[in-house]
Amino acid sequence: MPISQRTQVGIVGAGPAGLVLSHLLHLQGIDSVVIENRSREYSEQRVRAGVLEQGTVDLLTEMGGGERMKKEGLVHYGIELRFGGKGHRIDFQELTGGKGITIYAQHEVLKDLNNARSAAGGQTIFEAENVSVHNLNTSHPKIRYEKDGGAHEVICDFIAGCDGFHGICRPSIPPGVIVEYEREYPFGWLGILAQAPPSSEELIYTYHDRGFALLSMRSPQISRLYLQCAPDENIDDWSDERIWQELQIRLSSPGWALTEGAILQKGVTGMRSFVAEPMQYGRLFLAGDSAHIVPPTGAKGLNLAVADVRVLARALAHFYSTGSQSLLDEYSAKCLRRVWKVQRFSWWMTSMLHRFPDENPFDQRRQLAELDYVTSSRAAAKSLAENYVGLPLE
Ligand SMILES: Cc1cc2nc3c(=O)[nH]c(=O)nc-3n(C[C@H](O)[C@H](O)[C@H](O)COP(=O)(O)OP(=O)(O)OC[C@H]3O[C@@H](n4cnc5c(N)ncnc54)[C@H](O)[C@@H]3O)c2cc1C
């Protein structure tokens, strides 16, 4: 017999979606248990996203987990689009009425959230094995898992599937319920983390004949840089010297220099757009990457995960205070409306800035015209800025 435990909301996955949800529920007096298959150390060291929208920063601050982010995060009020060797700044502050973004690494957000959950007596079970979800269409769905050789089950009122794209929640929904919309891109990103002071105060998105490049950063000492590459690029073919050479070529601009440094980490990430509809089955609610993936060009993945669970936390709080499921019934449609707008933006940024293997000279001229338009028309720049700093949350 498994060791049984009762909670109100069982959450699978201790990524940004799962931990933000757990803490938001706690602040409303709702009990939750988070089940995670990795170790805490692993998730707190894994380098992933780093750009936080204003709405994400505001929510993390309201939740009480924003002190270190306020101190260590880098606030940016613009980005540069570079093409033809020339830079063009998109001024977010001026175009959006004072909004900006904050550069603060995802693993630092996770450290802060894990600390906030521990301080509040929250329960996160790390290194859970063989996690599975059951009875989704009943009023008491269950999460089962194994830990240290013992079998456990958590009996819940609701389950939140916050277990990312490769998790078990979405595949546990019976066939035919979910429609999946997907686009794979014919390229990937080769990303490095380098011990080098960022060569620009703001992010630089570069369109180049040899492919896209992005200069980003994690702190005043650490740069994060990316190169467009083949989706199946073998990282072993890229010596540190070759990576810097290619970055120097693609990012070059008169009077500007790229500072190099020791490469601390490198890897290749594939790029896809994916949406699962609806984001609910019975008492299982999908949130974050378990329901949708965006290509990283718009820096939206983490932000979208946080936006979903904000809607879900409100709907659950409404249920527990009134007994009405009306907001839970609206959850999927409400999230998907925003998800699709963010998908559009991420696809658009990706299409404008990357070279496509099957493109012809017309496509290239069109991309350059688009960049020229975005950087010379206030209306177009304003649209980019509004999306980049984050569309309204609800
Ligand atoms: C290499 C890489 C780079 C990225 N860079 C960027 C970027 O620059 N900008 C950006 O905006 N986004 C980026 N992203 C995307 C961003 O990191 C995600 O959108 C974000 O992490 C989504 O949060 P989430 O909580 O929904 O999912 P996740 O962060 O994936 O969290 C899911 C959690 O569930 C756990 N889990 C999985 N399966 C199980 C299971 N069976 N049982 C229990 N737990 C399970 C996982 O271990 C994980 O902790 C990147 C992603 C990757 C992989």
Helix, strand, coil percent values for the chain (each to nearest 5): 40, 30, 30
Tokens, residue 70: 């306020």
> Which position among 16, 141, 198, 296 bears the catalytic label?
296
- With bands split at pLDDT 50, 70 and 90, how would you rate the model's confidence at 246? very high
pLDDT of res. 65 = 81
- With bands split at pLDDT 50, 70 and 90, how would you rate the model's confidence at 47? confident
Nearest CA to ligand 1 atom 47: 38
Please tell me the distance between residue 289's alpha carbon and the centre of ligand 1 in angstroms.
Answer: 6
Please tell me the distance between residue 9's alpha carbon and the centre of ligand 1 in angstroms.
Answer: 20
> Which position among 292, 300, 334, 354 bears the catalytic label?
300
pLDDT of res. 256 = 96
Tokens, residue 111: 């450290």
Tens of pLDDT, residues 212-222: 999 999 999 99
Mutate to test the pocket of ligand 1, among 163, 218, 294 (most ligand atoms within 8 A of CB): 163
Nearest CA to ligand 1 atom 51: 48
* Percentage of residues in the chain having pLDDT higher than 70: 100
Q: Ligand 1 pocket: which residues have CB below 6 Å?
A: 12-18, 35-38, 43, 48-51, 106, 128, 131, 162-164, 167-168, 269, 288-289, 296, 299-302, 305
Question: DSSP for 354-384?
Answer: S--TT--HHHHHHHHHHHHHHHH-HHHHHHH
Does residue 348 have a pLDDT over 80? yes
Does the bond joining 278 to the residue before it have cis omega, within 30 degrees of 0? yes
User: Average pLDDT of the chain?
Assistant: 97
Please tell me the distance between residue 248's alpha carbon and the centre of ligand 1 in angstroms.
Answer: 30
Nearest CA to ligand 1 atom 36: 163
Residue whose C-alpha is closest to residue 335's, from 125, 172, 88, 160: 160
Question: Phi and psi at residue 33, in whole multiples of 5°?
Answer: -130, 135
pLDDT of res. 10 = 98
Atom of ligand 1 nearest to the CA of 46: 1
CA distance 249 to 258: 10
- With bands split at pLDDT 50, 70 and 90, how would you rate the model's confidence at 299? very high
**Who has greater pLDDT, 229 or 65?**
229
CA distance 188 to 338: 25
Question: DSSP for 260-328?
Answer: P-EEEEEEEEEEEEEEEE-SEETTEEE-GGGTEE--GGG--HHHHHHHHHHHHHHHHHHHHHH---HHH
Residue whose C-alpha is closest to residue 306's, from 112, 169, 35: 112
Nearest CA to ligand 1 atom 19: 301
Q: Mention every residue, 6+ apart, whose C-beta is less than 8 A from residue 185.
A: 231, 270, 271, 272, 273, 295, 350, 354
Question: What is the average per-residue pLDDT within 91-102?
Answer: 97
Does the reported pTM lie above 0.95?
Answer: yes
Tokens, residue 279: 């984001």
- With bands split at pLDDT 50, 70 and 90, how would you rate the model's confidence at 297? very high
* Percentage of residues in the chain having pLDDT higher than 90: 97
Burial state string for 290-319 with b = 16 or more CB within 10 A and e = fewer than 16: bbbbbbbbbbbbbbbbbbbbbbbbbbbbbb
- With bands split at pLDDT 50, 70 and 90, how would you rate the model's confidence at 128? very high
Owner of token pair 């101190």: 71
Mutate to test the pocket of ligand 1, among 222, 289, 308 (most ligand atoms within 8 A of CB): 289
Please tell me the distance between residue 92's alpha carbon and the centre of ligand 1 in angstroms.
Answer: 27
Does residue 371 have a pLDDT over 80? yes
pLDDT of res. 379 = 98
Tens of pLDDT, residues 140-189: 999 999 999 999 999 999 999 999 999 999 999 999 999 999 999 999 99
Active site residue 142: no
Radius of gyration (C-alpha) of the chain in whole angstroms:
22
Please tell me the distance between residue 269's alpha carbon and the centre of ligand 1 in angstroms.
Answer: 12
**Kind of pairing between the strands at 262-277 and 179-195:** antiparallel
- With bands split at pLDDT 50, 70 and 90, how would you rate the model's confidence at 333? very high
pLDDT of res. 146 = 98
Residue whose C-alpha is closest to residue 214's, from 184, 231, 194, 233: 194
Does residue 394 have a pLDDT over 80? no
Nearest CA to ligand 1 atom 52: 48
Residue 291 near residue 180 (C-beta atoms within 8 A):
no
**Angle at Cα 360 formed by Cα 226 and Cα 299, nearest 5°?**
30
Does residue 393 have a pLDDT over 90? no
Active site residue 145: no
Question: What is the average per-residue pLDDT within 83-110?
Answer: 96
How many residues does the structure list for the chain?
394
- With bands split at pLDDT 50, 70 and 90, how would you rate the model's confidence at 114? very high
Active site residue 281: no
- With bands split at pLDDT 50, 70 and 90, how would you rate the model's confidence at 295? very high
- With bands split at pLDDT 50, 70 and 90, how would you rate the model's confidence at 42? very high
> Which position among 77, 104, 145, 205 bears the catalytic label?
205
Residue whose C-alpha is closest to residue 39's, from 129, 144, 137, 139: 129
Please tell me the distance between residue 78's alpha carbon and the centre of ligand 1 in angstroms.
Answer: 26
Q: Mention every residue, 6+ apart, whose C-beta is less than 8 A from residue 281.
A: 136, 137, 173, 174, 177, 178
Active site residue 141: no
Residue whose C-alpha is closest to residue 80's, from 249, 169, 198: 198
Written in H, E and C, the secondary structure of 3-33 is: EEEECCEEEECCCHHHHHHHHHHHHCCCCEE
State whether the Cα torsion 51-53-56-57 is positive or negative.
positive
74 strand-pairing partners: 103
Active site residue 300: yes
Number of other CB atoms surrounding residue 121 within 10 Å: 7
